[in-house]
Structure 1
Amino acid sequence: MATIPTFEELLLEVHQSLGLKFEQKDKNKLSRLEKPLADHLERVDALLGEIFTALGLEGMARFKAMDDVLEWSAFDKSVELDTWTYVADRRQILWHLFGHSYAPALGRRLAFWTLHERLDTGMPGGRFWFLPGAREDAGARRLIMPVAQVVDWLRDLLGAPMEQARVGLGGKAAQERQQRIDDARKDIDVYASMARELDNWRQGRLPHASTIEKYFPDDAKLEFKGTLRPTPDLPLPERLQGAINFVKAKGLDAEALRDEIPITEVGRLEAILAYQASDADAQRFVELTEERWSAPSMATIRRRLIIARMVQDGYRRLGRFLLGEDFDEHCADPVRNKVLQLVELFKVGYNLTIQAAKESDDPQEQDVWFDSRLTPWDKEGIFLAIAPSRRETGARELSELLSRAFAAMHPGGPLDDLVGHDEASAKCIAERELRRIIACEKEREAVQSCIASLAWGSPFRKLQQQTEYWVVYQVAPSPELPVRIREMACVRARELARTPSEALGAIVLHLHALFHCDRADRPKEMRQQVEQLLALAESNPAYGEWGAVLLNYKAKHHLAINEFEAARESFNAALQACHARSYGPVRGEIARDAFALLVERPPVGFSLGNYEGYMRNMLAFGALSLDDERKLPTLEDTACVVSEYFWENQYAPYPGEPVEEPLARKHTEAIIGTDTMEIILRADWDGLDAWMGRNADLRDKRLRHVRGETVLMTWLGGLYQCRTTKHLHPQIGPIEEVAPIANALERNLREAALRVVKKWPKLINLADFKKQTPLLLAARNGDAAMVAVLLEAGADAEWLDVRGNSAMDLALASGISLCVDALSYWKRGIIQEFSK
């Protein structure tokens, strides 16, 4: 059992492979969404910043990288939110995600970055130097690691073995250390030690990021004797001869040069080396050769080594995780070393993107060319994530593909080949994919045909004629079918189930049909049906596969019989079960329902700030979106949203069960009900005094709803709403009729609030759910007179709301100078003077 890695988990893996430090405790909290939202966002931003800095990305390169990362993460999140992992293990999940998404998408993204700004100028341009590469070793093909390739590149530019060219490593710090050793007359060679360590890197040891910085500081002085000096002032024939002589002196023929510079077409290099090429090809060859064998800066060397270290560490850790003890990192056989199949998928994404850019400068034409080079089965399979023709639907289609694949897996099972290593294996994979696509298309047609036929009558007979579980399984949740027929389809799916897991899937669909139909369509015996289905599920040996979903329906069942505490426990258990498997969008829905129940039936000692975790899960799993201004909603606003959702959508007792009312309804009706508003509108102050006597329990408490308002806050809010909505009076009715009533209500609400301040002073400093007190509300609205009254009555002028605003901050923002003056007088201890 396992979940799909979150974006945060992937960032942490990259961060680790770069050799950067991150505390394990914080790592767990970040990936499990257990850090406060502000801290979480700050830490993710810092992670990205540290990664970009380590990779040497600055300015526009960093901006472009961030843009691409965010775009890809949105796609990845879409896939995550629609994918179910069932009993697939982490190894199987990662294998398919890397193959179908991560590897090809990374190749395509890196190609876009390269087209925008070369990231590896001076490195071998005909091969992927930062990936494990195959070389002949004693007659056998073995892989050389990325760090070794960078060390070899460096040795080639130095023009001598590292033990001979070592002086200058470590810069001034190494010189000073060597001087101290020499002064102490010790027989230690600092430079020889560093040269040996570089040789260890070449043999496979992974360098520490700090050691790379130590060996190649900016003040290191290395003599590059193996470079080609640029000669832009010489005529082309002389430059060409110099470049050809240089590569021949290094023993490089056309075949070897294809690995060094990006001129890979057969025959082009041969013609250049024979002085038979066009001037354009000759010019290109000279420029590429001078670039390839140019002297690098220390920053460039560090960057190359850091990138190589990142890939090498990631390659090793992924290989060990996927293949266990069978992993041989130097094995060049993609059948035994399956990680090489992911490397090949990366290369396809990269190479096709680069070639498409050579074919046309028009992005749309590039996409058409790229898409034309993918086989039809690859566009509906392994390359769904990068096929331009699937840009709008790729995430959804990939989620469906992965979910079906995971549903058929058994933990510990073998990893299917994703890429062929020869013609026979490629043909085998193509045939497998074509069979899958044909079967999916037939299934889709069967589902559509079944749904259409059911609408014409005899649903039971027609469902009995269906013999394929997955067809009926997809028919059952069809919203266009009546609830009765959907229930029949669920029963038929259960009859066709071949495994306990499939039987549970049918039960889940039946529960969904019952709980998500219109309330008027709910059967009278719904409670008994649900109890029977839940009992069947709990006796099923595959219960754990569907644990979160079934616990969610168990919570809904408790809620439908007004067992609020049991419902809360089941919702929380369901949310916890989501850490074991991915259930598509269900995790966000569970978090929303759990939060809604919490705010409407809060436990003893309830404090909203302690329950941000629900909102975090809602945001991360699709149940909560950014607001209209693309900003994150606040916890307080989210609580209001789920409060409304609870009563409008979530809370629906079974037929015949009593319906509970909101805890604050009685008090809300007392405060703003018709009778109370009539008293205020008539200025019946004796009647208001009597009202206060009848409702004395409100003199020192908030209302029992999520906003946490008091009588005073409610009437002040009404007063200021009257003031700010005067422009709407003509829409209500004739202005001569509406205005007198509205003005009287505004005037009398002020008087009512003043009487509450006088008689119920404990309400003056009671804040609502946004930590807003009556004083802050008055200051926000520029009500200088009310501010003065509240200050005289003992309001706390230093109180801060949830955003950290004081009364003075809000008064200044209101633009009302008298309001600012009132607070200033209070600070000087002469508020009485202001009141006069």
Structure 2
Amino acid sequence: MAAIPNVEKLLIEAQKCFDLDSGQSTMKNRFTTLNMSTENHDEKVKEILKQLLGALELDEEDSEYFLKSIVNWQQFYKKLELNLWTGGAEKSHVVLLLLGYVFIPFIARTAAHWNIDGFKGKGMPNEFWYLPKLQIIDEQKTLLLPVQQVMQWFEDLLDQPMDQLIESLDANSIEPESKERSFYNWKKGTLPDAKTIERYFSSDKEYSFKGCYSHNTDDSLEDQFNNAFAFLKNKKCLDEEGIRDQLQLATRRLDRVFTKRASDEDKEMFIEATKDRFAVPDMSTIRKRFLLARASQDAFQKLSKILHHNVKYNKIPASKNKLLPLVTQYQRVFNLTTEAFNQCGVDQLQEDLWFENQLLSFEKWTTLLSILPSMQDQDIAEELSSYLTYFFESSERLSTIDHHFPNYMDREDLSRKSSFHFEQYTNYRKDIDSTSELIVALENTESPITIIKNYNDSHTLLKTLVHDFSPETTALILSRLEETLKDPKDLLFLNMHKLAMYLNKNQNRNKSTESKVDSLLKQAEESEYYHQWEAVFLQYRAKHHLYCNQFGNNKRPAEKYFKQAMAACERNNYGPLRGEIARDAFATLVAKREFNKDDQKYYRNLMRYMEISGNDVSLESSTQELRKYFWENLYKPYSTVERLRHEW
């Protein structure tokens, strides 16, 4: 079982990746479990964002773009949380699908828009230096990590052996031996800490960069152009591919350069690109490069360990790492976004249209749905959460997740995965359509019993129970399913819907309802699949005790099981149920008393996981509304139990 991380947990993880101080464990836990006051919670969010902006050393314009992107994405992510059920999925399943469907597409497209003019990557090779890179050495595939790539860039600009560099440093500023050891470790892939990066590259430090490019502007354009080419050749950029990897220059310009059709403007741009790439970097630039590489590498290593069941990345064959296909997905989204701008300029509509037209059919339906421009005005989160839930609810489909995403550098793999996704999405749509068609048929017939008795697809019939049928039709469906269902998991779902009929819909109640509910709950608790739907049944048990008048303080059964149901929502995703549990738990707590500070957690979960209307949603006003809701809607004692008087 696994729940998707909330935004608070993502912020804490970002702090860790950038090696920032994330505070005491107790405070982090209160923050991530929404157990802080609103004021303190909001202050914590601001504090973390300020830390991240400071670490990245962003200017005012970039900071504004960063914050705007986070806010817009957070609204989408909240809707995803509100609609996603993770069922029996393991943490590795949830993390992998979230990466490929949500995080990677968003980060890649946002980064491309942020760096649309190439300025943010100025001075770096024209490649994804902040991502792990698969390389072949002596016919062996190995990974070149982000920090290693930045070290290569740094050493190339220094253009001197490490021992000579260390000897030339001011021994009084930083201990040479320690620094030399650190640099050698970074070259081997060791993760640097942020304080060391800051110390080695503080603004008062100086390095002798002997590998940077300079040119005489008094020379003729042709001489400057030839000198730039000679400089690149000396840098071992011996062919067209090598130069393309180094310079941030439009493909069409490079094509004209390599085919000796370059105009004077092309030559000027080539010289400028060479100057930018091999310019002397300031200390701020070096710090940012190393820190971003450090954050990316830390994330890669942690995620790799999760996806490979606690096995470290360097113990996994490089070509078998499940994150590498996602690296190629990032590159594809980034490159398409950048090329869309190059093709269409500042016309956003044309740029979005060009981008979308380059996508494969399966990408539009599935893996890149979250960033599809034409869908941004529609509820993408609801559609995507439905599709992801479709995978998480089936052990058979979960078994395919490890090989879910294509390697875009491998045409055969891309073709196979394209067919796979087409088949999966087709089956998903058939499943949705079959359920919808049956619901419509049952709603529009005068004789639902005829349809139900002759309907042999019990899986689809079971899914129709999410619809609010009449009590008579619901009873007919339940009766038919009792005859046909054999699978233990389906029987648990049937059990769940029976409990919903008694406890939520208040249908078919009589003097024996209390004992029936108790029996159904015990059956559910004995099921091997109970843990996947624990929060649902704990909520039902809480309501069962509530309807037996076993409530009134924190030690009573109703409050106890509502609390356990909330805790279960930390371990698994249950769509909108988390908000409902928070509402009912909060309402039960304040039914007979005033609110207190211990109720903050339920209030924050209510605010986060339910759609709240109206302007006044303070803790005080919510308490009054929920007390009224309790006595008028939630409290439905069994017929054999004395109804308590309203106390509001």
Normalised by the size of structure 1, how large is the TM-score?
A: 0.71
The counterpart of 2:265, out of the listed 252, 271, 280, is: 280
Query: For the aligned residues, what is the CA RMSD?
Result: 2.7
> Pairwise mapping of residues 25-424 of structure 1 onto structure 2 (< 5 A)?
25-115=26-116, 118-125=119-126, 127-166=127-166, 175-176=171-172, 190-229=175-214, 235-252=220-237, 253-263=239-249, 265=251, 269=254, 271-273=256-258, 275-324=260-309, 327-329=312-314, 333-334=318-319, 336-360=320-344, 361-391=346-376, 392-409=378-395, 415-421=401-407, 422-424=410-412
Find the counterpart in structure 2 of residue 440 from structure 1: 428
| Mapped contact 1:385–1:395 kept (Cα < 8 A) | yes
- Return closer, same or farther for 1:123/1:504 CA change in 2, 3 Å cut-off: same
Find the counterpart in structure 2 of residue 834 from structure 1: none
Tell me how far 1:501 sits from its aligned partner: 2.6
Aligned partners of 2:61 and 2:458: how far apart in 1?
Answer: 53
The answer to which of 565-574 and 403-412 deviates more is 403-412
Tell me how far 1:331 sits from its aligned partner: 6.6
Structure 1, unpaired ranges of 5+: 179-189, 664-704, 706-836
| Mapped contact 1:508–1:550 kept (Cα < 8 A) | yes
The counterpart of 2:462, out of the listed 467, 473, 477, is: 473
- Return closer, same or farther for 1:69/1:251 CA change in 2, 3 Å cut-off: same
Tell me how far 1:416 sits from its aligned partner: 2.5
Q: What SS does the aligned partner of 2:590 have? A: helix
The counterpart of 1:461, out of the listed 429, 450, 456, is: 450
* Aligned residue pair count: 636
| Mapped contact 1:594–1:614 kept (Cα < 8 A) | yes
| Mapped contact 1:143–1:331 kept (Cα < 8 A) | no
| Mapped contact 2:92–2:309 kept (Cα < 8 A) | no
Q: What SS does the aligned partner of 2:121 have? A: coil
- Return closer, same or farther for 1:450/1:227 CA change in 2, 3 Å cut-off: same
Q: What SS does the aligned partner of 1:545 have? A: helix
Tell me how far 1:159 sits from its aligned partner: 2.2
| Mapped contact 2:392–2:398 kept (Cα < 8 A) | no
The counterpart of 1:488, out of the listed 465, 468, 476, is: 476
Supply the AA of the counterpart residue of 1:54.
Answer: A
Find the counterpart in structure 1 of residue 496 from structure 2: 508
| Mapped contact 1:143–1:332 kept (Cα < 8 A) | no
| Mapped contact 2:481–2:494 kept (Cα < 8 A) | yes
Find the counterpart in structure 1 of residue 626 from structure 2: 642
Tell me how far 1:420 sits from its aligned partner: 2.9
1:186-208 deviation per Cα after TM superposition (whole angstroms, max 9, x unaligned): xxxx3354133212201111111
Q: What SS does the aligned partner of 2:404 have? A: coil
Supply the AA of the counterpart residue of 2:403.
Answer: D
Tell me how far 1:233 sits from its aligned partner: 6.4
| Mapped contact 1:477–1:486 kept (Cα < 8 A) | no
Find the counterpart in structure 1 of residue 524 from structure 2: 537
Does 1:574 pair with 2:565? yes
Find the counterpart in structure 1 of residue 12 from structure 2: 12
Supply the AA of the counterpart residue of 1:562.
Answer: N
Supply the AA of the counterpart residue of 2:172.
Answer: E
- Return closer, same or farther for 1:498/1:302 CA change in 2, 3 Å cut-off: farther
Aligned partners of 1:437 and 1:646: how far apart in 2?
Answer: 42
Tell me how far 1:579 sits from its aligned partner: 2.2
The counterpart of 1:563, out of the listed 543, 547, 550, is: 550
| Mapped contact 2:118–2:248 kept (Cα < 8 A) | no
The counterpart of 1:553, out of the listed 540, 547, 550, is: 540
- Return closer, same or farther for 1:496/1:438 CA change in 2, 3 Å cut-off: farther
Q: What SS does the aligned partner of 1:142 have? A: strand
- Return closer, same or farther for 1:381/1:495 CA change in 2, 3 Å cut-off: farther
Aligned partners of 1:233 and 1:524: how far apart in 2?
Answer: 98
Find the counterpart in structure 2 of residue 628 from structure 1: 615
Tell me the percent identity. Answer: 30
Structure 2, unpaired ranges of 5+: none
Find the counterpart in structure 2 of residue 618 from structure 1: 606
Tell me how far 1:232 sits from its aligned partner: 5.7
| Mapped contact 1:571–1:594 kept (Cα < 8 A) | yes
Tell me how far 1:425 sits from its aligned partner: 2.7
Supply the AA of the counterpart residue of 1:574.
Answer: A
Tell me how far 1:322 sits from its aligned partner: 1.1
The counterpart of 2:591, out of the listed 594, 600, 618, is: 600
1:112-160 deviation per Cα after TM superposition (whole angstroms, max 9, x unaligned): 21127832211112x1011111333223332211111111111111222
| Mapped contact 1:556–1:567 kept (Cα < 8 A) | yes
Aligned partners of 1:78 and 1:396: how far apart in 2?
Answer: 7
Aligned partners of 1:264 and 1:611: how far apart in 2?
Answer: 58
Q: What SS does the aligned partner of 1:124 have? A: coil
Supply the AA of the counterpart residue of 1:582.
Answer: N
- Return closer, same or farther for 1:236/1:476 CA change in 2, 3 Å cut-off: same
1:247-266 deviation per Cα after TM superposition (whole angstroms, max 9, x unaligned): 1222212111111113474x
Pick 1 or 2: higher relative contact order, CA cutoff 8 A, min separation 6.
Answer: 2
Supply the AA of the counterpart residue of 2:527.
Answer: N
The answer to which of 499-508 and 284-293 deviates more is 499-508
